[in-house]
Amino acid sequence: MTQVAAKSQLLKNEPLARYTSWRVGGCADRLFVAENLSELQAFMRSLDHTEPMFFIGLGSNLLVRDGGVRGTVIVMHQALSDLRVDGKYIFAEAGVTCGKLAKFCANQFKAGGEFMAGIPGTVGGALAMNAGCYGSETWNIVYQALTIDRQGATHVRNGFEFIPSYRHVEMPIPDEWFLGAWFKLEQGDAEESHQKIKKLLATRLASQPLNFPSAGSTFRNPHGDFAARLIEASGLKGYQIGGAQISPKHANFIVNVGDCTALDIELLIRHMKDTVLEKQGVVLQQEVRVIGEYA
């Protein structure tokens, strides 16, 4: 492995609880925080082609098991933060928060991206899982995407090369990761867009348990129904395993109420799925991504 540039950080046995919104999880063998794209490319070229790699943004839809991650975890949000107008489009790198993107679009008199303010993560994560809320999804507004491969080479790919579905995106080429995207939006009114964002954030504050560490929605909404309704109808609101609790405020949120482990969360997820299947006859599909090994 080549030497990492001085401004970047390569940390060994780094606790990943510091990098996830649930605030749980074991250590990564290696964690790389790039200062910029060129240093990220140089680092990726230095890795063995068999090295397991995991890219994370704010870790807001991620559960890292207590045994940690074998391989290299790459943190995106500190380096990839470019956000600008590029011709007819808005370009945002993977590390830009979705909330910042929504407000920037509004300031540029662009409408259609207001819903991004309700996604508690980064552009990279939103692209990878087709994140959405309040009836809109990320890939509805993507024109092109910028990706990086294992050799550190970048690629501009058209939106139609990807196959988005509910909370999932099929990549055209394996072993590529998102660096950013160009978003196509309609001309709009800045004040109207800001009012939409303000209303959306107020709804989010009123309905979601933002005062505890969580990872947002635990399960996807089944077609024609809501996971939260099914969980609540199964009598699970407030149910707790260890330090992991099904939020009394929103039944599709698991919150860390203190001294929580990743195993507590994973056992609670399993209990929710089993109980909803038994009582409602519905198989819930997990939205949260799980990586790493058991302790």
Residue 116 Cα to chain centre, angstroms: 12
Q: DSSP string of 20-72?
A: STT----EEEEEEE-SSHHHHHHHHHHS-TT--EEEESS-TTEEE-TT-EEEE
Structure tokens at 281: 């006859």
d(CA 209, CA 220): 18
167 flagged as catalytic? yes
186 flagged as catalytic? no
d(CA 13, CA 30): 6
- Other Cβ atoms closer than 10 A to 223: 6
Q: Out of 21, 30, 39, 167, pick the active-site residue.
A: 167
Nearest CA among 236, 253, 244 for reference residue 287: 253
220 flagged as catalytic? no
Q: Out of 217, 234, 247, 266, pick the active-site residue.
A: 217
d(CA 143, CA 88): 10
How is the beta sheet containing 89-93 ordered, strand by strand?
A: 83-86, 89-93, 176-183, 142-149, 154-158
| Catalytic site positions | 167, 217, 287
